Chain A
Amino acid sequence: MNTDDPQARYYTGIKMIRYDLVKEFVLALLAVSVLVVGLAGVFSSPDDPAVTIQTWATTNPVDFVTTAASELAGTSGTAGYGPPYTNTADAAQAVGPIAPQTWAGVSMPIDTAKDFVLQPLGFAAVGNPTLTTALQAYGAASSDQQTTWLTNYSTALADATVANEQVSVVSGEYGPVPDLMTGLLGLARTGALDGLLLQSGNLYQTDFTKPLLFMGDGEYLPNLAADQHLTGDQWGMMNETGLYPGQTWLWLFSFWYQIPPFNTAPNTDLLVTLLMIGLTSLLALVPFIPILRDIPRWVPIHRIIWRRYYGGR
């Protein structure tokens, strides 16, 4: 025995055998290659096209207009989201004094009325007298007047009809709101709104925060996700479109979203995130935690793993 070699000392009394690690790795790589190429060749991979605002506005114009009206009224999910998008009071999730969403602050401010509706319409209004007049009338109205128009219009949208690619509601006191919504719907149908929500003053753009938030506020995108079993209450974070495996390793993260008290709490996301951080830390610290580190000795799975070694002694 080489007494200068800690490994030799550690394995004192244990028979050493010839073992070709490199050959083992090469064989494993070959086996994995066959497996991966076979799975890819047989099953391919999913690729359902992304939903655009154009698709949304064309397929479900009432939902688009309803969502757009809520963005203009400041009553949408994004408008009242809290940090990092808005300063909405009491919107941020917290667990007692732990409020990381509040601590992080509003780093990506979004004014849904301006960013999602009025600003894009401003571009579309060039050379469009009807839209220009509607925008001027809306801008000149008091906040209370705007709220009245939008409340009336949003209520009427529940019985809206679609004819000639236009959303129509019964007559009422809506001010210029129907003209604004007609203008935005037309803009969305052409695909122009998809581009306008991306503009940042730079030619190059990779940040899809605004269009994704806008689409997320509607019912069209979440309904498509629900059809594919992708929503949070359907274990959605670990699923993929179709029957393909997704992020199955997120099963525990998804699990908490299915059971009380997590699935009924107002701060579900923070509770689950903190829990998973805690559990992951426990897993990393297993070597130092009594009971957790003793379980392997109590559960005789190691007798199966090393059965030939134990049997040969």
Chain B
Amino acid sequence: MSSGNSEPQAEPSSWTLAIRRFLQRSLPLKHLLPDRQPVFVGSWVYIFGVVAIAGLMWVVGSGVVLALFGPQWWHQSGVGRFVNSLHLWSVQVFFVFMVLHLWGQYFMASWRDGRAKTWMVGVVIFAFSIVTAFTGFVSQQNFAGQWIAVNAKDATNAAGIGSFFNVLNFGQMYGLHIALLPMLVATLVGVHILLVRMKGVVRPIENKPDAQPSHEEPAS
């Protein structure tokens, strides 16, 4: 039976559909989990970011265990001390490879061709990672943490943030360190990865005048 209506049906519209279409358009699964990459990706520099993420997973995992048993645990237990050591060294690995990743991306001018947002989110991750690590160092409840807090208060007070970011307040620093800041860093890392997958990795620098580092969108 024919309906006799040859006019095309209007596409329904809703916020949900708009988001779905945006995601389908911007981040199809083949881009989120691609099985092919441009040939220039076969370089060691691309490993740094992946290793940094692996380091972050160890940071979060060891931190969750430390938080689970409480701030006193690692001072009193051999197992706790070992978990704290895992936390310390994974933080070091995370930062070493994050910095290598950052400098690698700088010398690749990875912000080109519409990737400025990805770069900027990366720098924000770096900055918030430093703040997160700092709150961890002042939350150690040992001499190092005690002195770092006494010493650092002058910078936070001079900057006018000491009133609401009191480095001498263990409860505040510990809360920020185990909850708010890690969630922020993890979320930003997620956004960073999604931005990389949405755009794909940047093409190698071509030393031609029309291929200078730029933040312009590629011509479609």
A81 to chain B: which residues have CB within 8 Å? 157
* A203 at interface, CB cutoff 8 A: no
Instruction: Determine if A104 and B160 form an interchain contact, defined as CB atoms under 8 angstroms apart.
Output: yes
Interface residues of A in 86-100 (CB under 8 A from B): 92-93, 100
Q: Which residue of B lies closest to A11 (CB)?
A: B38
Q: Which residue of A lies closest to B141 (CB)?
A: A50
Interface of chain A: mostly helix, strand, loop or mixed: helix
A285 to chain B: which residues have CB within 8 Å? 120
* B142 at interface, CB cutoff 8 A: yes
Instruction: Determine if B40 and A14 form an interchain contact, defined as CB atoms under 8 angstroms apart.
Output: yes
- Indicate which residue in B86, B127, B144 contacts A48 across the interface (CB closer than 8 Å): B144
Interface residues of A in 22-60 (CB under 8 A from B): 22, 24-25, 28-29, 31-33, 35-37, 39-41, 43-51
Q: Which residue of B lies closest to A52 (CB)?
A: B146
Shortest Cβ distance from residue B121 to the other chain A in the assembled complex, whole angstroms? 9
Q: Which residue of A lies closest to B152 (CB)?
A: A237
Shortest Cβ distance from residue A94 to the other chain B in the assembled complex, whole angstroms? 9
Shortest Cβ distance from residue A7 to the other chain B in the assembled complex, whole angstroms? 4
* Interface size, chain A (Cβ < 8 Å): 100
Instruction: Determine if A43 and B85 form an interchain contact, defined as CB atoms under 8 angstroms apart.
Output: yes
Alpha-carbon distance between A100 and B199 when the two chains are bound, in angstroms: 40
Number of residue pairs A-B, CB distance < 8 angstroms: 291
* A108 at interface, CB cutoff 8 A: yes
B86 to chain A: which residues have CB within 8 Å? 36-37, 40
* Category for how many chain B residues contact A: 35 or more
Q: Which residue of A lies closest to B112 (CB)?
A: A287
Shortest Cβ distance from residue B212 to the other chain A in the assembled complex, whole angstroms? 6
CB-defined interface of B153-186 with A at 8 Å, one 1/0 digit per residue?
Answer: 0110111111110101111101000000000000
Alpha-carbon distance between A28 and B148 when the two chains are bound, in angstroms: 33
* Residues of A that sit less than 8 Å from B by CB: 6-7, 9-11, 14-22, 24-25, 28-29, 31-33, 35-37, 39-41, 43-51, 81, 83-84, 92-93, 100-101, 103-105, 107-108, 206-209, 212-213, 215-216, 221, 224-225, 228, 230-232, 236-237, 240-241, 244-250, 267, 269-270, 272-274, 280, 283-288, 293-294, 296-297, 299, 301-302, 305-306, 308-310, 312
Interface of chain B: mostly helix, strand, loop or mixed: helix
- Indicate which residue in B112, B150, B169 contacts A206 across the interface (CB closer than 8 Å): B169
Instruction: Determine if B213 and A24 form an interchain contact, defined as CB atoms under 8 angstroms apart.
Output: no
B84 to chain A: which residues have CB within 8 Å? 45, 47
Instruction: Determine if A288 and B116 form an interchain contact, defined as CB atoms under 8 angstroms apart.
Output: yes
Known contacts: A9-B218, A49-B142. The answer to whether A249 contacts B130 by CB under 8 A is yes
- Indicate which residue in A36, A92, A236 contacts B151 across the interface (CB closer than 8 Å): A236
* B63 at interface, CB cutoff 8 A: no
Alpha-carbon distance between A6 and B27 when the two chains are bound, in angstroms: 11
Instruction: Determine if A302 and B157 form an interchain contact, defined as CB atoms under 8 angstroms apart.
Output: no
Known contacts: A36-B90, A212-B168, A306-B204. The answer to whether A246 contacts B40 by CB under 8 A is no
Instruction: Determine if A309 and B39 form an interchain contact, defined as CB atoms under 8 angstroms apart.
Output: yes
